[in-house]
Amino acid sequence: MRVVVLTGAGISAESGVPTFRDADGLWEGHRVEDVATPEAYDAQPFVVHRFYDARRAALSGVSPNPAHHALARLEEELGDDLLVVTQNIDDLHERAGSQRVLHMHGELLSAVCRACRGRSRWEQDLSDLPPCPRCGVPDLRPDVVWFGEIPYEMDRIYLALESADLFVSIGTSGAVYPAAGFVQQAATYGARTLELNLQASEVTTLFDETRHGRAGELVPAWVDELLVRR
Ligand code: BJW
């Protein structure tokens, strides 16, 4: 059985990483669509740098939760038949042990140079304008995907969706495309579809089955169920 899992901010919420659109979300008081853009970065680079510097620094204070660990356990059993596609820019899937993870919206621990387009692993602040390790130009930005930019790894993701038997969406509001359209894509190619989320997402009616609750409880239970049935 080939499984594609899409994860969003909700899977990291119980680790203490804030979500985007919940009441106490990351961009509280702003529309995410207005601030997570290249235009917002051009207008106020230091504000944006400080925001991502703070989120990068906060990574060392959080740990994977039972939902991340359950997906890593599932990968141990399924190997290449499981692909985790995450919209999250944290590294909690990897720290739980998952190896087959695609970060479609980029990664906090990476920087991209606006001069040479090179991507470099990055653990420090960017607000003090360090030089690019590749070309030396001090024009690094967070290696994340903002509105109007093309998400990473789309070819591999669509290929995986085409051959999936099961598509599972975890902890995402279904407010952002193309990720919100994956359920339809997978269903068109014949996959069964399951949503695990605290509440109904914006695309909940497109799923064959939905379960509402905390990812830290729902995901381990679903993984147990899948492995017993196998
Ligand atoms: C829990 C929980 C717990 C809480 N347990 N659950 C089609 C139609 C209309 C518009 C478009 C369209 N296609 C494209 C667009 C434009 C645009 C878009 O989607 N606009 C919308 C406003 C409609 N999309 C884009 O511009 C994208 N690019 C693009 O489409 O390029 C064209 C192209 C595509 C494909 C191939 C070729 C070309 C880019 C989108 C970039 C999004 N970037 C951000 C910021 C990343 C950097 C950062 O982290 O700062 O990504 S925005 C933000 O939203 C972030 C997230 O990854 C993303 C999704 O958020 P997520 O994860 O769903 O979080 P929340 O907070 O919304 O939801 C959390 C959920 O968890 C909630 O439901 C809670 O209930 C739940 N939850 N606690 C379980 N304990």
Q: Ligand 1: which of 12, 109, 176 to mutate, most ligand atoms within 8 Å of CB?
A: 176
Interatomic CA distance for residues 121 and 179, integer angstroms: 25
Confidence of residue 183 (pLDDT cuts 50, 70, 90): very high
Round the average pLDDT of the chain to a whole number and report it. 96
Q: Ligand 1: which of 14, 15, 19 to mutate, most ligand atoms within 8 Å of CB?
A: 19
Is the CB of 48 inside a 6 Å radius of any atom of ligand 1? no
Contacts of 109 (CB under 8 A, 6+ apart): 56, 59, 91, 121, 122, 123
Mean pLDDT on 122-131? 97
Instruction: Quote the tokens at residue 92.
Output: 């909690």
Confidence of residue 33 (pLDDT cuts 50, 70, 90): confident
Could you give the dihedral angle defined by the CA atoms of residues 20, 10, 154 and 93, in that order, rounded to the nearest 10 degrees? 120
pLDDT in tens, 189-219: 999 999 999 999 999 999 999 999 999 999 9
Is the CB of 89 inside a 6 Å radius of any atom of ligand 1? yes
Distance (angstroms) between ligand 1 centre and the Cα of 180 equals 7
Is the CB of 144 inside a 6 Å radius of any atom of ligand 1? yes
The residue whose two tokens read 């119980």 is 14
